[in-house]
Structure 1
Amino acid sequence: MPSSHLAMEFFIHNWYLFVALIVIVFLLVVGPVTQRLHGVKIANAAQAVQLINREGGVVVDVCEPNEFKNGHIPNAINAPLPKLNEHLRQFEKHKDKPVIVTCRTGNRSVKGAVLLRKHGFPTVYTLTGGLQAWEKDNLPVER
């Protein structure tokens, strides 16, 4: 049997694996592409510290309140992602500063950062790896 025939047979019998692969690749790509398209920048924990200390950066934590109580970056403002629209007015005074959006792992923060950019915030970052990366770098956490 020619190898192309074997490959086609494998594909036919395992089509669901290829669909799963396509979905996974799509999900991995959509976040970074969305960030770029909306002008959201990325900061690691060390860069976030510099933004906070040198430029008066403001940290917006989009975690749920119970997650926020379990630990957050010092002086972070809690604005849960589903209610972020309701908090926009309170952030207006910070529009001229870098805004660093974070959550527990860095997944929800992309949606929050895109929303802030859509509402005219010029300098918005997401914290790569979220609070977990912050803690891994032994940076302070409020509880």
Structure 2
Amino acid sequence: LRRGRGGLSAAEATQLINRRNAVVIDLRAPSDFAAGHLPSARQVAAGEIGAKIAQVAKNKSTPVLLVCQNGQQSQKAAREVEAAGYAEVHVLEGGVAAWQQAGMPVVKQGVAK
């Protein structure tokens, strides 16, 4: 899997989640999160990721997958998460928009769609 700027495709992200139990963090606003997010994702505001990452991903060797609407916020947040000592930080290329375009499942208010 690639690190850094490139980001992961929806298929690569799915493998990371399924095979490695990656922690999925959605950086979008709560209203966007409620409208549709990746299964197993936890919502953490982008501006709070530095302060909250340790609560969401307790083991620093666990892969972390950052998700936003289009990939931009995730790139910035990835630097903060790496600075906090996480060894494997990934970004979903194209964000939730690309995930949905690829036909991947999203969860809306607790119901898989």
Range of TM-score over shorter length: 0.7 to 0.9
Pairs within 5 Å for 1:27-106: 40=4, 42-106=7-71
Runs of 4+ in 1 over 3 A off after TM superposition: none
Partners of 2:21 and 2:62 within 8 A in 1: yes
- The amino acid of 1:40's aligned partner reads G
- The amino acid of 1:65's aligned partner reads P
In 1, the alpha carbon distance for the partners of 2:42 and 2:59 equals 11
- The amino acid of 2:72's aligned partner reads N
1:99 shift after superposition: 0.6
Partners of 1:73 and 1:142 within 8 A in 2: yes
Partners of 1:58 and 1:94 within 8 A in 2: no
1:98 shift after superposition: 1.1
CA 1:95–1:72 in 2, change beyond 3 Å: closer, same or farther? same
Partners of 1:58 and 1:76 within 8 A in 2: yes
Partners of 1:40 and 1:123 within 8 A in 2: no
Partners of 2:50 and 2:84 within 8 A in 1: no
1:92 shift after superposition: 4.0
Could you tell me which residue of structure 2 aligns to residue 18 of structure 1?
A: none
**SS of equivalent residue, structure 1 residue 60:** strand
Count of matched residue pairs: 105
Q: Considering fraction of residues, name the structure with more helix.
A: 1
**SS of equivalent residue, structure 2 residue 31:** helix
Q: 1:141 aligns with which of 82, 100, 106?
A: 106
CA 1:120–1:139 in 2, change beyond 3 Å: closer, same or farther? same
What TM-score do you get using the length of structure 2 for normalisation? 0.86
In 1, the alpha carbon distance for the partners of 2:54 and 2:13 equals 23
Higher relative contact order, structure no. (Cα contacts within 8 Å, ≥ 6 residues apart)? 2
In 2, the alpha carbon distance for the partners of 1:71 and 1:95 equals 27
CA 1:53–1:92 in 2, change beyond 3 Å: closer, same or farther? closer
In 2, the alpha carbon distance for the partners of 1:63 and 1:47 equals 21
What TM-score do you get using the length of structure 1 for normalisation? 0.69
Percent of aligned pairs with the same amino acid: 34
- For the pair shown, the structure with the greater C-alpha radius of gyration is 1
